[in-house]
Chains A and B, each alone.
Chain A
Amino acid sequence: MAPKGTWLRRPCCELCACHGRAQDLTQKNNENERLWARRGSRGASLKQRVGGTRGRLWGATEASLRCRGEHVGSSNTRTNSQIWREAPRERVLLRVRYEGREWLDDYAVDLGEDSMFIRSDALFEVGEELRFSISFPGLLDPTPVKGTVRWRRRPDDGVPPEEVGVGVELREWEPEERRRVLALVERLKRHRDQPKAPGGQLRVLLVEDNSFVTELFHHAVVRFQHRFSESTTPEVFVARSGVEALKMIREQPVDLVILDHYLPGITGCALLRRMRQLPDYHDTPVLMVTVGGDDIREEALESGATLFMNKPALMTQLLQSLDAMVAGGAR
């Protein structure tokens, strides 16, 4: 059996049920072939870096060629587009804005190395070329991307609203831009994999000395919890300083922390560094929302913040970040 990420020439292998058919299918798409050949041995390291221990495969192209190293089994009965569609990806919420259609604001949920699912009500056609940018508040500035619609799901296909959209194969994605996006995915995934129960009551600590901003955060947390359970109200603790916050987390475990950097006494970053030294808080999702720009963002991420947002942050962006940290982008 060939190691993962190795491109095998036909026959793919004796274990695989595709009998070379998947290879034939994918050969219809020269672009896929080219991409796969280009990826070659580095596929494995990408999987290790971002796919983690689940051994996930990246994107459409790899998925359509899985039988070469992964032994898909009954893939001979599936079309290329089906295999493409079923490819496991990383779940992450990214804002999608289309060039020339700024009024249309979609979001990407499943991201592969060279593909993504975009939740959209727009009537895109299969084969249509799209130019858009993807971004994430505070952590990823709008990054231009080009792609081709490979499949679509519409409301009349009988799928729930959150699954209506298009599968897009990405093209001409700059390596540096891709690296930034993958680093973001990795950061989100590390915290998302911690055991959590969005349906159960969330215990949240807000560390903020401005009472109105605290109210905004509280509001966002309640809205977020209600997405999963209308009848559940989160338990929210408020600390006005870093010292008060440290005392609280030692007394009462919390599932999520939202904090400011500029606090009376110790700063938010200093608090975070101390918090990360506590055994129960190594991987607790922490969202830092503060003024201070790039310098503070850098310090916050190095100190262990899961996500960073500049103040002021819109409620919608806060919800997006909570989604990404706690619910893995689920809506």
Chain B
Amino acid sequence: MTDALHAAEQASGLVVVIDDSRTVLASAEAMLRRTGFDVVTAADPSSLEVERVRAADVVFVDINMDQVFGDDVVSILRESWQVACPIYLYSTIDGEELATRAKAAGAAGGICKSGGTQALVKQALRVVARGASS
């Protein structure tokens, strides 16, 4: 993790984080910006602009939110909003169930919240690095 963060001092790209917890959003935004990412956060997906999300390099979506489940947010981002970048579900639920739900929703994977916001940064770095090498 530390290596990844150090290696990414110059990281760039747009990350979208959707979570109804403003604390989580503030923490994730601070960490991602420190790493070099441009960040868009939303406590409610209705506040997002479609074009901005389409331009993202990676999207993180919390599963348990007030108005909609993250699973369905992924489906709508994919099918209606035509978002092509990797979308990850993240949640406190355990790894196996999270992986199953992510797959069913059409997400690229699941990230457990027990890994903290650093887990999001790490995954964003991986995605950006993959994009750069391809």
B residues in contact with A210, CB < 8 Å: 44, 46, 67
Give the residues in chain B near A315, CB-CB below 8 Å: 71-72, 75
Stretch at the interface among A38-46, A88-96, A195-203, A213-221: A213-221
Q: Which of B64, B67, B71, B79 contacts A212 (CB 8 A)?
A: B67
Q: Beyond A210-B44, A210-B46, is A215–B69 a contact (Cβ under 8 Å)?
A: no
Given contacts A210-B44, A210-B46, is CB(A215)–CB(B76) below 8 Å?
A: yes
User: Which of A213, A311, A312 contacts B46, CB < 8 Å?
Assistant: A213
Which B residue's beta carbon lies closest to that of A219? B76
B72-93 residues with Cβ-Cβ distance < 8 A to A are 72-73, 75-76, 79-80
A135-163 residues with Cβ-Cβ distance < 8 A to B are: none
Q: Quote the shortest CB–CB distance from A209 to chain B (angstroms).
A: 9
Among residues of A, the one whose C-beta sits closest to the C-beta of B70 is A312
Q: Nearest chain A CB to B12's CB is how many angstroms away?
A: 28
A53 interface hit (Cβ, 8 Å): no
Complex alpha-carbon distance, A213 and B66, angstroms: 11
Distance between A309 CB and nearest chain B CB, rounded to angstroms:
12
Q: Which residues of B sit under 8 angstroms from A311, Cβ to Cβ?
A: 66-68
Instruction: Determine the chain A residues whose CB is within 8 A of the CB of B44 once the complex forms.
Output: 210, 212
Number of chain A residues close to chain B: CB under 8 A:
13
* Residues of A in contact with B (beta carbons under 8 Å apart): 210-213, 215-216, 219, 291, 311-315
Residues on A with beta carbons closer than 8 Å to the beta carbon of B66: 291, 311-312
Who on chain A is nearest to B48 by CB?
A212
CA distance A314 to B63 in the complex (A): 11
Residue of B nearest to A212 (CB): B46
Q: Are B65 and A312 in contact (CB under 8 A)?
A: yes
Nearest chain B CB to A122 CB, angstrom units: 18
- A312→B75 contact, CB < 8 A: no
How distant is the Cα of A327 from the Cα of B82 in the complex, in angstroms? 30
Cβ A213 vs Cβ B79 within 8 A:
no
A313: B residues at CB distance < 8 A? 69
Instruction: Return chain A residues, CB-CB under 8 Å to B46.
Output: 210-213
Smallest beta-carbon distance A210→chain B, Å: 5
User: Least Cβ distance of A219 to chain B in Å?
Assistant: 6
Pick 14 A–B contacts, CB within 8 A, sort by A: A210-B46, A211-B46, A212-B67, A213-B67, A216-B68, A216-B72, A216-B76, A219-B76, A219-B80, A291-B66, A312-B64, A312-B67, A312-B68, A312-B69
Max count, chain A CB within 10 A of own CB: residue among B46, B73, B75: B46
Most buried by B among A212, A313, A314: A212
Nearest B-chain residue to A215, judged by Cβ: B76
- Nearest A residue (CB) for B100: A103
B72 touches A314 (CB 8 A): yes
List B6-56 residues whose CB lies under 8 Å from chain A: 44-46, 48
Q: How far is the CB of B64 from chain A (nearest CB, A)?
A: 8
Complex Cα–Cα for A210 and B71 (A): 17
Residues of chain B with a CB closer than 8 A to A213's CB:
46, 67-68
